[in-house]
Chains A and B, each alone.
Chain A
Amino acid sequence: MPRESLAGEVTRGHPLHAPEPSGSGEHLRVVLGKKRFDAHDVGARYVMRKLVDAGMEVVFIRFALIQELVDAAIQEDAQVISLSVLTGGHLVLAADLMDGLRAAGLDDRLVIIGGVIADEDHAKLLALGVDGVFGPGSKPETIVTFINEWFGTKS
């Protein structure tokens, strides 16, 4: 008898005082997901703050099942779907996420993963279709640049 994920497990970050990203004409929308029972939030919180400072709108969701992250991406019409994993199991989560996104027709969205991810897993994640992997010690400015360049080249 697993329980439903409950409302109220979402934290929103709005770029109240931040400039809009150049050229896009609106805020980039990011959903940032973390497994509900992964207690580590320092990395996700820090990245969230920096993305908001860089002019993005971030919805931070703690999910029980990866489908909830996919659903959040649909509801928010997110251009960026990001996953924070510090408990291991990132290969399983990433595979399920990519399946879910394909099924929802969101193949074209930017997908990035960060957390405690060993070097040898980076190539495996990229092979699954993840666009960017940010391991321990990555600077948020690297992530911001990665996202902006992605949309700069795609638009």
Chain B
Amino acid sequence: MTTEPELRSDAGLPLLPFYGPETGSRRGPEALGDPGEFPFTRGLHATAYNRTPWMMQQVLGAGLAEQTREIMDQLVSEGMEGYFGHKVFNVVLDNPSKGGIDPDWPEAKGHVGVGGMSLSHLDDMRRLVKGFPLESTNFSIITGDTCLVALAMYVVAAEEAGYTPDQLRGNSMNWLLKSFCVDNPDFSPRGAQKMAAQLIRYCTQEMPAWNTTNFSGYLIREAGANAVQELAFTMAWGAAVIEECIAQGLEIDAFAPRLGFQIAFHNDFFEEVAKLRALRRMWATLLHDRFGATNKKSMQARVHVHTAGDTLLFQQPQNNIVRVSLQTLGAVLAGVQSIHTCAYTESVEIPTPEQARLALRTQQIVLHETNVAQIADPLGGSWYLESLTDEVEDAAQALIDEIERKGGFVGAIESGWVKGQLVDELVKKHDLIDSGELVRVGLNKYVTEEAPESRPARFTMPPEIEQEAIRRITEWREDRDQKAVASTLDAVRATALEDGYLMPTVLDAVRAKATQGEIMNALKDVYGWGFVTN
């Protein structure tokens, strides 16, 4: 006699062979609400995507500002648009620029302009934004630890072009409290929490249209988390930053509307949709019940989906086109506000123009040809999806409760517990892939010999980029008032030490022509640089 196979979701939640009225959601209608109504399980807007499509926010950036502008121009010409047809850019920096390393420092060697744009001083930012209508352009800058410095450079470059900070719209990543998932030696969790709140504090006062924070489940997922862990740790991250903002004297409804999310869309289709619906419900409930928010916008989780790079394979890379298409469809069915579709070569490196176009076209095809974007929450009411939404939420909440019992999220990061959870999960997952139990098409099943000439074209860049970046920053350092640089950096350190109002001092340092590496070093002196989790 054969036994039925045990059915489980990717995160390990038990499933039934089918669902019906008796096995659907056990909660009442108040747990759903209509689209546009608390707790926003069914989406933020009753109008679905009819008022405006989601933002097609493709990650881009390579080389210096000039090369990055070429990619921006190409994608704009291909129809990459934000809300209401406005320009939207999601510029990623290279690793030295994310970590506070200037291009002429030895650590940067071989990595300047690789995988992102080199942003080391104000002139780089001037070149990047020159000529754009910044009052209507949505500018996101993907930073690592350099969130405050990159924002300050954007504000100063915009000021020089005639814009005031309150006219600017875009998104800081504010990925500071991230050492539990991203394995870079980092600011101490407590220091990172303070800095994140400092950025929000400045924007709340001066940049009301700027989205301050992008709590990144994506980073957590890519570090090995399953969907439940991604959701739980993202919620805990959000709560930890909110607590610090309140401690710094901010009113919840003054800043919470500008908090947002970047979430992965992974392979388990329904679990991922359930996760996004559960996230909206949990965030709304958290903001309302725990933090006493009364503004509806404070309770609305705006979500950018990044299709999961972790699912893309090096082997038979064209298969990734199919994976990304399914993930993009899922994100749209889940009603998110913004999407990055990975190019099929993202498992190797950044895309060529043709590969980048195809990634964008994937979104455009889903928007215009499938007819799925007209109706809000089209999967809502599925017995299976509603049950799974509950199950994902309950499992995530149990994990959040466990973190609370351990003394809170920052403590659980410091002790290494959070990272330990992620490492255990990634080992479990990769063991299943290695054994073939978890199928990855082209890797552990349906393997074919690939001729070298069948490999996709690779992105190339002029080799002199690094030398040019070094030449520019050397010239920049020579042509400035060194005393002014030193005194503004001293002010950054002194203000940070006394937990003062930090951003104005960073802005002054940028105006005095300090480089990103120099300003970051001042911050590293104060906020406990070098933290890693085992």
Whether A and B are associated in the same complex: the answer reads yes
Interface string of A87-114 (1 = CB under 8 A from B): 1110011000000000000000000000
Give chain B's interface residue range (CB within 8 Å of chain A). 35 or more
Q: How far is the CA of A7 from the CA of B97 in the complex (A)?
A: 22
Contact with A along B68-110 (1 / 0, CB 8 A): 0000000000000000000000000001101101000111011
Which residue among B315, B518, B532 has the maximum number of chain A CB atoms within 10 Å of its CB? B532
Using Cβ atoms and an 8 Å threshold, which residues of chain A touch B310? 42
**Residues in chain B near residue A38, CB distance under 8 A:** 95, 184
Check B443–A2 contact: CB distance below 8 A. Answer: no
Given that A87-B95, A92-B110 are contacting pairs, would A119 and B184 also be in contact in the complex, using a CB cutoff of 8 Å? Answer: no
Interface of B is mostly: loop
- Minimum CB–CB distance from B466 to chain A (whole Å) comes to 10
A3-B524, A9-B185 known; A36 and B314 CB under 8 Å?
Answer: no
Given A3-B521, A9-B530, A140-B434, also A37-B101 (CB < 8 A): yes
Asked if residues B111 and A37 are in contact (CB atoms below 8 Å), the reply is yes
- Tell me whether B434 and A92 are in contact (CB under 8 A): no
Of the listed stretches B27-35, B325-333, B336-344, B422-430, chain A binds: B422-430
User: Which residues 128-142 of A sit at the B interface, judged by CB distance below 8 A?
Assistant: 135-137, 139-141
C-alpha spacing A135/B115, complex, angstroms: 19
> For B314, what are the chain A residues with a Cβ–Cβ distance below 8 Å?
116, 135-137
Within 8 Å by CB of B443, from A12, A92, A93, A137, lies A137
Among all A-B residue pairs, the 8 with the closest Cβ atoms: A41-B183, A136-B314, A6-B530, A92-B110, A89-B110, A2-B105, A37-B99, A37-B95
In contact, B313 and A136 (Cβ under 8 angstroms): yes
**Total contacting residues, chain A, CB less than 8 A:** 40
Min CB gap A143→B, angstroms: 12
Q: Which of A11, A45, A88, A140 contacts B349 (CB 8 A)?
A: A88
Measured in the bound complex, the distance between the Cα atoms of B521 and A139 in whole Å is 39
A25 within 8 A of B: no
Q: Are B529 and A2 in contact (CB under 8 A)?
A: no
Decide yes or no whether A64 CB sits under 8 A from chain B.
yes
| Chain A residues within an 8 Å CB radius of B348 | 116, 118
The smallest beta-carbon distance between B465 and chain A, in angstroms, is 13
A42–B422 alpha-carbon span in the complex (Å): 9
- Contacting B at CB under 8 A, from A8-28, are 8-9, 11-12
Query: CB-CB < 8 A to A1: which residues of B?
Result: 517-518, 521
The interface residues of chain A lying within 8 Å CB-to-CB of B349 are 88, 116
A-B contacts besides A89-B110, A92-B109, 5 pairs, CB < 8 Å: A2-B101, A37-B144, A41-B223, A87-B114, A118-B348
How distant is A99 from chain B, measured CB to nearest CB, in Å? 13
Instruction: Report 21 cross-chain contacts, Cβ distance below 8 Å, ordered by A residue.
Output: A1-B521, A2-B517, A3-B524, A6-B530, A9-B185, A11-B534, A34-B183, A35-B111, A38-B95, A39-B144, A42-B426, A45-B423, A45-B427, A46-B426, A65-B106, A87-B114, A92-B110, A116-B347, A137-B313, A137-B314, A141-B434
